[in-house]
Chain A
Amino acid sequence: MAVKIHVKEQPAVFKRFGAQWTPTLMVLDPEGAERYRFEGYLPPEDFLAQLEVGLAKSAFAHEQWEKAERRYRGIVQRFPKSEAAPEAVYWAGVSKYKASGDAGALKETAREMKERYPESSWAKKASVWSG
């Protein structure tokens, strides 16, 4: 389901969802809970990657760990140069850990992060898992 809300046509909907800038993109889960939002223009690859992050976060919030990992992995595979990719590597690892309880998944994620996205802030966050 996709909805387009124009600021001049439906200002009350902007206020209802707390949208204060355009473009603002919001992903809600089937229950209507907001799972992700991003603001500002993005080129197509980054835009699509961010939409996928929203869907992955929705799966994660519902504790659908394997589905969340698949979605995050898909971001890394399809949009490896997007800004969302390092974040996706991080959360794919967390999703795998949540599904398995195996801390090795986090250690492997830290290794992958250091190899693929060493300059990202997500690499710093994953570095504690290096052991």
Chain B
Amino acid sequence: MTIQWMKDVDLALAEARGKDKAVLIDFNAAPM
């Protein structure tokens, strides 16, 4: 399964609320 990573946390939170889904945030320093 491929994860569709987003970069906008507020957009993700808004979408999650609308879809009743949890949000995973990965704070990282790895090369993008």
Contact = CB atoms under 8 A, between A and B. Distances in A.
Interface string A1-19: 1111111111001100101
B25 A30 contact: no
Interface residues of A, number: 30
Contacts, number: 106
Which of under 10, 10 to 19, 20 to 34, or 35 or more describes the interface residues of B? 20 to 34
B24 A32 contact: no
Nearest to A28: B23
Interface of B: 3-9, 12-13, 15-17, 19-30, 32
Interface of A: 1-10, 13-14, 17, 19, 22-32, 35, 51, 54-55, 58
